[in-house]
Amino acid sequence: MKVVLFCGGLGMRMRDYSEEVPKPMIKVGYRPVLWNIMKYYAHFGHKDFILCLGHKGDFIKRYFVEYEEYTSNNFVLNNGKREIELLNSDLDDWNITFVDTGMTSNVGQRLMKVRPYLEGEEMFLANYADGLSDMPLNEMIDQFKKSGKTGGFLAYQPTQSFHVAELGDNGMVNSINPISKSGLFINAGFFVLRNEIFDYINYGEELVMEPFQRLIKEKKLYGHRYEGFWMPLDTFKDKQQIDDMYAEGITPWQVWDQNGQEIATTKVQNGAKAL
């Protein structure tokens, strides 16, 4: 299945980083968050990517054209340092299509601009390219297929320390609860879409606003609840937390690294860090 990744936004809430590099290229360890997301999809067998570029798209193009496989793979140095023999590879079987979708386009517009590259695809995957998860992707895809819906997304219950208040007339507070106990779910940005989604998007519309409202009216939108690990990289605080986890060897999003998964699970069970 093809994977559409929205990589063109300005990343205003990560301004300290995104002024130098586009938001999807912010490092998690020694690889960009975009690489981590692509590696996640490739782990589940989805290796045909369409990158919707915009802000600093040249930076993303250059990264992959000049990609240094030896940085994250085992290798043998032969012939007096003149020849690198890779023992394994990251992306030798990946296909990556780079498409300029505009500097200020919203997600719906970016998706419409890559429609020609999705011709003949019954279904495809999409992602905001700014969040990490260990969700078993193929389980979500299977449930989506069974649902018969047109669009689906990962529905995640927030764990932040916010409180949700229900207000009545004149500011009367009817209830106030931690957001984790409110029953509210957020769109976590992992999408499964049928090609007919394009019939629901009009020119200039954002994907989740008008098109998803139309799907809701026709009962064609599916939300896949998941209670495992998911974390966005929206703010500087998010980046610090991910960096701390990585430094401690807690990397649940690296589903391709079974050894790393075992280490992360053990540390969480021992109370090293709550995810």
Which structural domains are found in the chain, ordered by start?
2-155+186-269 (3.90.550.10)
pLDDT (0 to 100) of residue 145: 97
Name the residue with higher pLDDT: 75 or 119: 119
Partners of 95 in beta bridges = 48
pLDDT at 161 over 50: yes
Task: Identify the pLDDT of residue 85.
Answer: 84
Instruction: Give residues with Cβ within 8 angstroms of 83, minimum separation 6.
Output: 77
- Residue 237 to residues 123, 159, 254: CA-CA distances in angstroms? 35, 15, 21
Q: Are 98 and 53 in contact (CB under 8 A)?
A: yes
As a whole number, mean pLDDT of residues 43-58 equals 95
Residue 275 has pLDDT above 50, yes or no: no
Q: Looking up tokens 């990962």, which residue turns up?
A: 154
Determine contact, residues 221/152, Cβ cutoff 8 Å: yes
Tell me the mean pLDDT in the region 37-60: 95
Q: What is the arithmetic mean of pLDDT over 67-95?
A: 80
Q: Looking at residue 273, what is its pLDDT?
A: 42
pTM of the predicted model, to two decimals?
Answer: 0.86
* 195: number of Cβ within 10 Å: 15
Whole-number average pLDDT of the chain? 87
Q: Which of 33, 24, 27, 32 is nearest to 54 (CA)?
A: 24
pLDDT of residue 89: 77
Which residue did the predictor score with more confidence, 141 or 13?
141
Buried b (16+ CB within 10 A) or exposed e, 159-168: eeeeeeeeee
Q: How confident is the model at residue 269 (pLDDT cuts 50, 70, 90)?
A: very low
Identify the CA nearest to 96 among candidates 50, 134, 131: 50
pLDDT tens across 223-263, in order? 999 999 999 998 888 999 999 999 999 999 999 986 655 54
What is the structure's pLDDT at 55? 86
The token pair at 146 is: 């069974």
